[in-house]
Amino acid sequence: MNPQLSRRRFIKTVIASSVAAASHNSFPVAKAHHVGDGYVDRLITIIVNGKKRRVDVMPQETLAYTLRYKLGLTGTKIGCNRGECGACTVLIDDVTNYSCSTLTHSVRTRNVTTVEGVQSDDGSLHPVQQAFVDELSPQCGFCTPGQVMSAVALLRENPNPTREEARQALSGNICRCGAYDHYLNGVMRAAGQRS
Amino acid sequence: MNNYKHIGKDFVPPDIVGKVTGKAKYAEDFRRDGMVFARLLTSPMAHGRVTRIDTSAVDGMEGLVGIITADDVPATEAPIAPMLTNEPVYIGDPILAVAAENETIAEDAIARIKVDIEPMSFVTDPLDSLVEGGPDAREEGNVYSRSREGSGFRTVKWTAEQVDEFRAGKEPTGEFVNEWSYGDLEKGFADAEVILEEPFVTIGYAHMSMEPRTAMAYWENGTCYVYGSAQSQSFWIPGLARLLDVEQDKVVLISENTGGGFGSKIGAYPMAALPGWFSKKIGRPVQLRITREQEYYVGSARVGFQGWIKLGFAKNGRVTAADVYIVEDIGPNATGGDGSSAGGAVSLVYDPLAMRFRGLPVMTNTTPRGAQRGPGQNQIAAVMAPLMDKAAHLLNIDNLEIRKVNAVHSGTTVYADQEPVTSAYMKEALEMGAEMFEWETRRALPRRNGNKVRGLGIGQGYHSAGTNGFDGLVRITPDGKIHLHSGVGNLGTYSYASTTRAAAEVLKCDWEDCVIHRGSTEENLPWSSYQAGSVSIFTHTRANYVAAMDALDKMKAIAADTLGGAPDDYDIDGNRIFLASNPAQGMSYAAIAARAIHLGGAYSGKIYPDDIHEVTQRAVQNLAGSGLIGVAKDNLKREGVIPGLAVAFTEIELDLETGKYDIVDYVGIAECGTVVHPLGLATQMKGGAVWGMGMAGLERHVYDPQNGLPANVGYHQCRIPTYLDTPSEIRTAAVDLPDPQNPFGARGIGEPAMGCSVAAVTAAITDALEGHTFNRTPVSPDMIVNHVAGLEQSFKPLQTNNF
């Protein structure tokens, strides 16, 4: 999905994809439902931050739940658990998604990137992360992983955004501290437009 | 500008990398072997009595570990909120919790447990309770009064005529319970050239911190370990110990990161203690995850106002008299106190020659209220700004000028007792803002462009911004490191770190040589403030200063003892102490620390001052012998009110056809003494601006008066401001004049940063609508459209819960 999509279209897309997936015959939710708990299909492989992870997933399990509670990737935060705040934003095949509103079974063959997966292999911070540090973008920090992921997705799609484009791209991420201005400063710094 | 090494300079707070990498741990990110997951069952009724709890459907349920009810936890005396209740007083009041091997089982169990509740009368609008025959929120009464003389429930009723007259904007004649005044009010109004008399409403709304107040707890050797979401750190300990019914040394609080507080997590709250009780009952670590909906219920909300104000103005704009009457919605647990604070803010910001405040705190069966960023000060800021402009218009004075005429300064006396202020530079802040915003130029520009009309607003914010009497603790170890022990919580302002830079400043050490200890009782932290009311910067730069001065005195004494001469012959720099007359003769901090350990006594913390708090005493006892200890209580001079001030200038573009407005420019000026952390100050000013924009036009409680149901328990309906509701860029600056009662001249700013914003926006709306005052927050587009079309509003005057 284009990270410049509006929040409304974004949410509609998430809902539509869930409906489409649920109606698909081979979807593991339906299968698991018929055979009951413990059926082998619950044990699936997902690709998170470039690594294959074997995980036992309930039919109704959200990606946020799997990441946090099964894989210990607690950088992904659950702020609302209903697709309103964006604290749980991850990338699925480079596209921002609310992981609280994504079923884990629907991402089996796709690449999931969380905030833990954006640093370089040598451990250095991603330019977005470094810029957020330099601009003192986070306040309480609870929304920050989601802001990082939305900004990373934006710059992959559009390495040279205007401030307004950045504002639109991050608009699905609520920050109760009101640090929007400093997050946008961070995005523009990461894009090389601010020093 | 000053020549400080650390104060007034930006730095990288040590926790920020964890925030951008996801490694920062919040309460819900901690796990413990054997931990079970607890979930709450909350009241579906606004007020009632639990008559039966039927758990038979979950008997023997696989994976269910335990159930805890109100019978298992201490009862509280009304109106104090208990952890669990059999007499819920609002929808969402926690009744019981279940613990299970996983959350799914816990949720399934909650769904199967049956709770019978006998419904009781309830009320969602204070005026509906106040009118004769109206329902009371609690059996004990409908009003809870807190005053210097004592506190207690009351039942206060007005006649229907009295309520109607209040709604019609007349001076309330019904009974009130709080009052204070100063000056000759009658004379003030008699001397006035212009008198305004207006009713007003500010609707309460939820704090909605990003992190729901999840907590985890377990017991080990009689000590309860609590992983909580805390606004302050050391300050929580006495309250948490009380809630857990243990001695203070039997509780450990781990709160490394807190996902926002805004007044809702000041001290230990019931939901932080419940896992401890549950863990004790079932013998397993318990994590209680709070959902977003539950955070709305138990996460606190701003007090709502329904009020009346009368203001007198002299010909030059000077406020001659202010008469303020506020009925405040204090929720079911009688929490708040915003009304009198609002009166205090009128007294300080506009300095009326005479003033009276009268208040009536009324309970409702809505979510519990609590301090929220500028509690009282910010509601009244929103009300006052348009009225100041209305008076300016009637007197033919500029909106900026009328504020300058009344501006608080260092000689102003404030509040009922007409106390002095430590320092205040409101006029300077207004002039700085006017220049940055180009006020005069903009006033002269065309205002109308088709359906769009420009509105300009000036806002002023205030909150007292400092206190004293807390402890500081620093330690220098034989490896030469300077350990800064911060009992300040990490709620997002970085004050836990920026205030320790006061100690680094005194010790003239490099920041790279400093290690901050924080986030857990086990890090040995000093007794620290509640971190509300914008106090942290003033209060804890002082506490760090006195601790570092204690360390410096000890270093000098050790150097004199070791190298000869008198302590005062010594100076410090570059992590060395040396003879001022011969810098070559000296000792490194590392050597001094080793020597302190050798000497013992007060040098190494084996002996400590009598007046430090027991929390600090325990910290020093644990650290004794590990280095040179600097520890002291802040006994520096503190007299008078310490004001945090801010002003804002904003421009909106209002669409007369849709009623929607965009905030196109915003300038915020901080008047908080010396700037300690420039970037941190900027983020507070901008975050406060966003909060003010939310209060001015977006956020409000809405309750269905028929069933007591809340209509906006989620983020979307709560209308938290987003990127698209706020300007893409917000400009800020600071007056940066030192306050005499802080060693570095610093005061706080968190709350005024919001008050100036909501005031500027409400004033700008009034300006765009050619002086029309709604006297209500939030101002929603439908209100603007109705006004422009000449239609009546969809709610009756002073009504709350309007859609």
Contact with chain B for residue A114, Cβ under 8 A: yes
Residue ending a domain, choose from B119, B153, B184: B119
Contact between chains at A125 and B15 (C-beta distance less than 8 A)? no
Domains in chain A, number: 2
pLDDT by residue (tens digit) across B394-430? Answer: 999 999 999 999 999 999 999 999 999 999 999 999 9
Phi, psi of B734 (to 5 degrees): -140, 145
- Determine the Cα–Cα distance for residues B405 and B292; give it in Å rounded to an integer: 46
Contact between chains at B17 and A133 (C-beta distance less than 8 A)? yes
Query: B778 preceded by cis ω (within 30°)?
Result: yes
Residue A87: closest C-alpha in chain B: B210
Q: Is the pLDDT of residue B698 over 50?
A: yes
Indicate whether A110 and A167 sit together in one domain: no
Q: Which residue's entry shows tokens 């006892």?
A: B621
pLDDT by residue (tens digit) across B599-636? Answer: 999 999 999 999 999 999 999 999 999 999 999 999 99
pLDDT by residue (tens digit) across A48-101? Answer: 999 999 999 999 999 999 999 999 999 999 999 999 999 999 999 999 999 999
Domains in chain B, number: 3
Going by DSSP bridges, is the β-strand pair B251-254/B731-734 parallel, antiparallel, or unpaired? unpaired
| pLDDT number for residue B236 | 98
DSSP codes joined into one string, B154-223: E---B-HHHHHHHHTTPPP-S--SEEEEES-HHHHHHT-SEEEEEEEEE---B---SS---EEEEEETTE
CATH code, domain with A133: 1.10.150.120
Phi, psi of B98 (to 5 degrees): -120, 150
Report chain B residues whose CB lies below 8 A from the CB of A180.
686, 690, 722-723, 726, 728
| pLDDT number for residue B651 | 98
Q: Determine whether B584 is exposed, middle or buried from the number of CB atoms within 10 Å of its CB (0-12, 13-18, 19+).
A: exposed
Range of the domain at B597: 467-633
Choose among B208, B682, B690: nearest Cβ to A180: B690
Residue A165: closest C-alpha in chain B: B728
Give yes or no for a contact between B285 and B36, defined as CB atoms under 8 angstroms apart. yes
pLDDT by residue (tens digit) across B200-217? Answer: 999 999 999 999 999 999
pLDDT by residue (tens digit) across B296-350? Answer: 999 999 999 999 999 999 999 999 999 999 999 999 999 988 999 999 999 999 9
| pLDDT number for residue A7 | 47
Residue to mutate among A129, A136, A147, A173, with most B CBs inside 10 A, is A136
Choose among A133, A164, A173: nearest Cβ to B20: A133
| pLDDT number for residue A39 | 52
Task: Tell how far CA A18 is from the center of its chain.
Answer: 16
Indicate whether A148 and A102 sit together in one domain: no
pLDDT by residue (tens digit) across A141-185? Answer: 999 999 999 999 999 999 999 999 999 999 999 999 999 999 999
Residue B231: closest C-alpha in chain A: A140
Report chain A residues whose CB lies below 8 A from the CB of B257.
140-142
First to last CA, chain B: 50
pTM of the model: 0.95
Contact between chains at B25 and A74 (C-beta distance less than 8 A)? yes
| pLDDT number for residue B136 | 98
Distance of CA B577 to CAs B351, B475, B505, B591, Å?
50, 16, 15, 10
Choose among A73, A81, A139: nearest Cβ to B687: A139
Going by DSSP bridges, is the β-strand pair B471-476/B482-485 parallel, antiparallel, or unpaired? antiparallel
CATH code, domain with B598: 3.30.365.10
Q: Which residues contact B164 (CB under 8 A, 6 or more apart)?
A: none
Would B194 be classed as within a structural domain? Answer: no
In this structure, what token pair is assigned to residue B280? 């004790």
The shortest C-alpha distance from A32 to chain B (Å) reads 16
Choose among A68, A144, A178: nearest Cβ to B687: A178
CATH code, domain with B66: 3.90.1170.50
Indicate whether A149 and A105 sit together in one domain: no
Indicate whether B582 and B704 sit together in one domain: no
Give yes or no for a contact between B720 and A172, defined as CB atoms under 8 angstroms apart. no
Q: Which residue's entry shows tokens 């969380």?
A: A114
Q: Is the pLDDT of residue A10 over 70?
A: no
| pLDDT number for residue B1 | 52
Would B283 be classed as within a structural domain? Answer: no
Residue B689: closest C-alpha in chain A: A178
Would B64 be classed as within a structural domain? Answer: yes
Task: Tell how far CA A94 is from the center of its chain.
Answer: 9
Task: Tell how far CA A158 is from the center of its chain.
Answer: 18
DSSP codes joined into one string, B583-646: EEEEEEHHHHHHHHHHH-GGGGTSS--TTS-HHHHHHHHHHTTSSEEEEEE------SB-EEEE
Give yes or no for a contact between B95 and B85, defined as CB atoms under 8 angstroms apart. yes
Neighbours of B175 (CB within 10 A): 13
Q: Is the pLDDT of residue A40 over 90?
A: no
Contact between chains at B20 and A81 (C-beta distance less than 8 A)? no
Angle separating helix axes B536-563 and B589-599, nearest 10 degrees: 80
Contact with chain B for residue A132, Cβ under 8 A: yes
Report chain B residues whose CB lies below 8 A from the CB of A133.
12, 16-17, 20
Q: Let me know the angle formed at the C-alpha of B440 by B407 and B377, rounded to the nearest 5 degrees.
A: 35
Query: Which amino acid type is present at position B731?
Result: R
Q: Which residue's entry shows tokens 């799609």?
A: A157
Give yes or no for a contact between B656 and B451, defined as CB atoms under 8 angstroms apart. yes
Residue ending a domain, choose from A85, A117, A149: A117
Q: Which residues contact B325 (CB under 8 A, 6 or more apart)?
A: B171, B172, B176, B307, B308, B309, B357, B358, B359, B360
Indicate whether B433 and B483 sit together in one domain: no
ipTM, two decimals? 0.97
If you compute the radius of gyration of chain A from its CA atoms, what whole number of angstroms results?
17
Report chain B residues whose CB lies below 8 A from the CB of A125.
17, 20-21
Give yes or no for a contact between A102 and A89, defined as CB atoms under 8 angstroms apart. no
List helix spans (H) across A79-126. Answer: none
Range of the domain at A174: 127-190
Contact with chain B for residue A122, Cβ under 8 A: no
pLDDT by residue (tens digit) across B663-684? Answer: 999 999 999 999 999 999 999 9
Residue to mutate among B16, B20, B378, B728, with most A CBs inside 10 A, is B20
